[in-house]
Amino acid sequence: MTQNILEIKDLHASVEGKQILKGLTLTVAPGEVAAIMGPNGAGKSTLANVLAGRPGYTVDSGSVSYLGQDLLALEADERACAGVFLAFQYPVEIPGVNNTYFLRAALNAQRRSRDEEELDSMAFLKLVRARLKALHITDDLLHRAVNEGFSGGEKKRNEVFQMAVLEPRLAILDETDSGLDIDALKIVADGVNELRSSERGFVVVTHYQRLLDHIVPDTVHVLMDGRIVKSGTSDLALRLEKEGYAWIQEELAA
Amino acid sequence: MATENQHIKELVKRRYEPGFFTDIESDTIAPGLSEDVVRFISEKKNEPGWMTEWRLKAFALWQNMPTPKWAHVHYPEIDFQAISYYSAPKSGAKYESWDEVDPKLIETYDKLGVPLHERARLAGVAVDAVFDSVSVGTTFRKELAEAGVIFCSMSEAIQDHPELVRKYLGSVVPQGDNFYAALNSAVFSDGSFVLIPKGVRCPMELSTYFRINELNTGQFERTLIIAEEDSHVSYLEGCTAPMRDENQLHAAVVELVALDRAQIKYSTVQNWYPGDEHGKGGIYNFVTKRGDCRGERSKISWTQVETGSAVTWKYPSCILRGDHSSGEFYSVALTHNFQQADTGTKMVHLGKNTRSHIISKGISAGRGQNAYRGLVQVNKKADNARNFTQCDSLLIGDRCGAHTFPYIEAKNATAQIEHEASTSKISDDQLFYCLQRGISEEDAVSMIVDGFCKEVFKELPMEFAVEAKKLLEVSLEGAVG
């Protein structure tokens, strides 16, 4: 049996003393795209941030195993180097720092941690060109400062591009569809689909079903009040889109 | 989120690498300042009578001046009688060849990485090194002489080119200009002198390296650079001092004169000892730097990276006298721990169609206080003067401060003056973004700071830019994480 990418067991986590995750359990197998849906305030973004190790998010109990190792014992940068990637909901601007330079620093930091040789500018540029081509995106973002002055769509496209270069084993997409028009959404979704592989697991956090029209998930999990309360296939997402979350609440109450 | 505080708590294990002391015998006069001391210095240097008189006039002016208090810096009052005003390596100041120079001195400069001697040849930089108060050697003299360039110590210039010194010394910064300039004029011990003749493009970068070594000495060097018509020169200045618990005073004066269509580019990387993490010790850096764009279409450009000193008080300025002349000021000033900096520039537009451009980047970490103070003055006859000022501050942690004091005086209605200012923090979000991509916290901070300083670094000569970048990294060690 192949090892799961991610096994979350009975995870409790809080932010500023407020309990947000209340016993969340979730498994992601290699090659699986798991969609996490749920109403506002259910804990979707908290889950994404806890997995990435964002400071300020406290794990109170439970365990997270990533490729068999204890993810929670690692610092944020160590998690990244181990192959955990978070596509941010709001990618931050870093003025004056060239996008290409930033990405090369990131890739080389990750390669160093794996005892692999660092890529020089030429080798890196070659890699970048190949990835751009595979994702059918233009290189206009490369020469600008990290996210500086990027439109919403450009920022999300840049996240997917970074993902393509860094080649994570676990990619977490935090509301990647928010604020995108349909064209931008399609570019991002196509990029993600391009990166789907039997080696890689995805956790796609989204509020709306529409992203899942383009990135068809293998599993859909409903997150409510800090727990996964229902799991199913992409049909579940369609039903949620039509009927909302009330029926699940009723089911739970029954 | 509370992470930043946690990080800041783990503050500072910063090392000051040039903080060694060279044990070398030196001639140092007893502390104290009087007319006799001024005469002593002048005599010691075999100066002509007019030079002694010039110094004495400065001393008389200084005695009647109050210490300036307007800068946004705080430090205990300086006892000017407790400072020794002359210190020279004992073996004598002038050397006919490098073989005569005390090997310990050369070793010191080696440690500092000053490209003297043969290393200079390789590096292609001509260096004048000032140790405590005396110039100890100028490299590349022959090559420069062939181009007609005069590059020597100020003491030598007074002996060998008195007519030039008399004509230009004090013509940009007069003896009575300000308190510290007056003090410098009275007691300056050495410095560098440069003359680029008409139409000559100086064949290499010129450089001075300053080093304060002796205890309780002040360093008062005087630099004078004259670029004649259609000439061009790029000049670099670097500074270090040993680590000491006591504060030491550095009060330099730099005068630049650019005649018609001449260009002077003056770059400084200042790394005087900043004091320890409790604010003990460090250099008081009170410096007057001014350039006079005397000729039409002349250009003076100041670039400075200020990472050292306990207190910095410095405003490299441009007098835009010639029509169509232009002045530039690019600055990165970093304050960490208890460092304080009040720095900026003055752009005085006198000629027609004059331009000035100011980019100032202040970085504060720890309890550092950083102030930008700038004056843009457009006088009545300066038709069509234009200025652009951009003044950005970056805060690291929540106990530091950034302050901006822009002064604008426009007496001519055709003036166009633009001022942009911003203050930002290295945010937790930026740090986490970098971490999430696998970049360590330390690398993330230097990357963000480097990005912030980019516009200034690109003005520095290549090897200086690399040094400046490294210096910022070292200076910020422990600022976060």
Q: How confident is the model at residue A143 (pLDDT cuts 50, 70, 90)?
A: confident
Residue B8: predicted pLDDT: 34
Domains of chain A: 6-94+169-253 (3.40.50.300)
A71-80, B36-45, B376-385, B428-437, range with the lowest pLDDT: B36-45
- Partners of A96 on chain B (C-beta within 8 Å) are 450-455
Residue A186: alpha-carbon gap to chain centroid: 17
Cβ atoms within 10 A of the Cβ of A174, count? 23
Across the range B97-106, mean pLDDT stands at: 56
CB-nearest partner of B432 from A54, A85, A103: A54
Residue B122: predicted pLDDT: 37
Distance (Å, whole) CA B371 – CA B405:
7
CB-nearest partner of B437 from A53, A96, A162: A162
**pLDDT, tens only, B326-359:** 999 999 888 887 888 888 899 999 999 999 999 9
Record: contact A96-B433, CB cut-off 8 A? no
**pLDDT, tens only, B296-312:** 999 999 998 888 777 88
**pLDDT, tens only, B190-244:** 888 999 999 999 887 887 766 555 544 567 889 999 999 999 999 888 755 555 5
Q: What is the mean pLDDT of chain A?
A: 91
Measured between CA atoms, how close is B240 to chain A, in angstroms? 29
A135-139, A169-173, B163-167, B233-237, range with the lowest pLDDT: A135-139
Query: Which of B427, B434, B443 to mutate: most A Cβ within 10 Å?
Result: B434
Q: Which residue type occupies B92?
A: G
A181-185, B247-251, B407-411, range with the lowest pLDDT: B247-251
User: Residue B266: is its pLDDT beyond 80?
Assistant: yes
Q: Is B163 helix (H, G, I), strand (E, B) or coil?
A: helix
User: Residue A77: is its pLDDT beyond 90?
Assistant: yes
Closest residue of B to A15, CA-based?
Answer: B1
Which residues of chain B approach chain A closer than 8 Å at the C-beta?
1-3, 427-430, 432-441, 443, 447-448, 450-455
Residue B144: predicted pLDDT: 82
Where do the DSSP E strands lie in chain A?
6-15, 18-28, 33-37, 57-66, 69-70, 84-87, 94-98, 145-146, 170-174, 201-206, 219-224, 227-232
Record: contact B443-A109, CB cut-off 8 A? yes
User: Residue B124: is its pLDDT beyond 70?
Assistant: no
Residue B434: alpha-carbon gap to chain centroid: 34
Write out the two tokens for B64.
């009647």
Q: How confident is the model at residue B4 (pLDDT cuts 50, 70, 90)?
A: very low
- Partners of A80 on chain B (C-beta within 8 Å) are 435-438
Do the beta carbons of residue B26 and residue B82 sit within 8 Å?
no
Closest residue of B to A90, CA-based?
Answer: B429
Closest residue of B to A56, CA-based?
Answer: B1
pLDDT over 90 percentage in chain B: 38
A82 Cβ contact partners less than 8 Å away, ≥ 6 residues apart: A66, A67, A69, A71, A74, A113, A169
Q: How confident is the model at residue A109 (pLDDT cuts 50, 70, 90)?
A: very high
Q: How confident is the model at residue B284 (pLDDT cuts 50, 70, 90)?
A: confident
- What are the two backbone dihedrals, phi and then psi, of residue B369, each rounded to the nearest 5 degrees? -120, 130
First to last CA, chain B: 14
Distance (Å, whole) CA B27 – CA B102:
14
Distance (Å, whole) CA A236 – CA A242:
10
Measured between CA atoms, how close is A240 to chain B, in angstroms? 32
**pLDDT, tens only, B12-39:** 334 455 555 555 555 677 788 889 889 9
Q: Does A15 lie at the interface with B, CB-CB under 8 angstroms?
A: no
Distance (Å, whole) CA A28 – CA B57:
84
Closest residue of B to A113, CA-based?
Answer: B438
Across the range A193-203, mean pLDDT stands at: 94
Residue B6: predicted pLDDT: 40
Do the beta carbons of residue B363 and residue B335 sit within 8 Å?
yes
Q: Does A88 lie at the interface with B, CB-CB under 8 angstroms?
A: yes
Determine if the pTM surpasses 0.80: no
Do the beta carbons of residue B33 and residue B187 sit within 8 Å?
yes
Q: How confident is the model at residue A61 (pLDDT cuts 50, 70, 90)?
A: very high
- What are the two backbone dihedrals, phi and then psi, of residue A104, each rounded to the nearest 5 degrees? -70, -40
- What are the two backbone dihedrals, phi and then psi, of residue B380, each rounded to the nearest 5 degrees? -50, -45
Q: Does A116 lie at the interface with B, CB-CB under 8 angstroms?
A: no
Distance (Å, whole) CA B164 – CA B168:
6
Q: How confident is the model at residue B182 (pLDDT cuts 50, 70, 90)?
A: very high
Residue B469: predicted pLDDT: 76
Across the range A213-224, mean pLDDT stands at: 94
Nearest to B430 by CA among B360, B480, B466: B480
Closest residue of B to A52, CA-based?
Answer: B436
Residue B236: alpha-carbon gap to chain centroid: 10
Residue B261: predicted pLDDT: 97
Cβ atoms within 10 A of the Cβ of B202, count? 22
- Partners of B453 on chain A (C-beta within 8 Å) are 96
Beta-bridge partners for A174:
A205
Cβ atoms within 10 A of the Cβ of B166, count? 15
Q: In three state form, how does the secondary structure of A165-216 look?
A: HHCCCEEEEECCCCCCCHHHHHHHHHHHHHHCCCCCEEEEEECCCHHHHHCC
Nearest to B185 by CA among B233, B221, B239, B131: B221
A30 Cβ contact partners less than 8 Å away, ≥ 6 residues apart: A2, A3, A4, A5, A198, A199, A200, A201
Residue B120: predicted pLDDT: 42
Residue B91: predicted pLDDT: 46
Residue B71: predicted pLDDT: 73
Query: Which of A45, A74, A90, A102 to mutate: most B Cβ within 10 Å?
Result: A102
**pLDDT, tens only, A26-44:** 999 999 999 999 988 899 9
Q: Torsion over CA of B48, B51, B55 and B57, rounded to 10 degrees?
A: 110
Closest residue of A to B425, CA-based?
Answer: A94
Query: Which of A49, A74, A77 to mutate: most B Cβ within 10 Å?
Result: A77
- Partners of A102 on chain B (C-beta within 8 Å) are 434, 437, 447
Across the range A124-139, mean pLDDT stands at: 86
Do the beta carbons of residue B225 and residue B256 sit within 8 Å?
yes
Q: What is the mean pLDDT of chain B?
A: 80
B431 Cβ contact partners less than 8 Å away, ≥ 6 residues apart: B3, B441, B444, B445, B448, B480
Record: contact B451-A109, CB cut-off 8 A? no
Measured between CA atoms, how close is A124 to chain B, in angstroms? 16
Residue B384: alpha-carbon gap to chain centroid: 31
Distance (Å, whole) CA A174 – CA A160:
12
Which residue pairs from B459-462 have beta carbons closer than 8 angstroms and sit at least 24 positions apart in sequence? Answer: B459/B267, B459/B301, B459/B303, B459/B328, B459/B330, B460/B267, B460/B269, B460/B303, B460/B305, B461/B205, B461/B234, B461/B236, B461/B267
Closest residue of B to A101, CA-based?
Answer: B447
Residue B351: predicted pLDDT: 96
Query: Which of A15, A45, A54, A150 to mutate: most B Cβ within 10 Å?
Result: A54
B6-15, B222-231, B448-457, range with the lowest pLDDT: B6-15
Residue A36: predicted pLDDT: 96
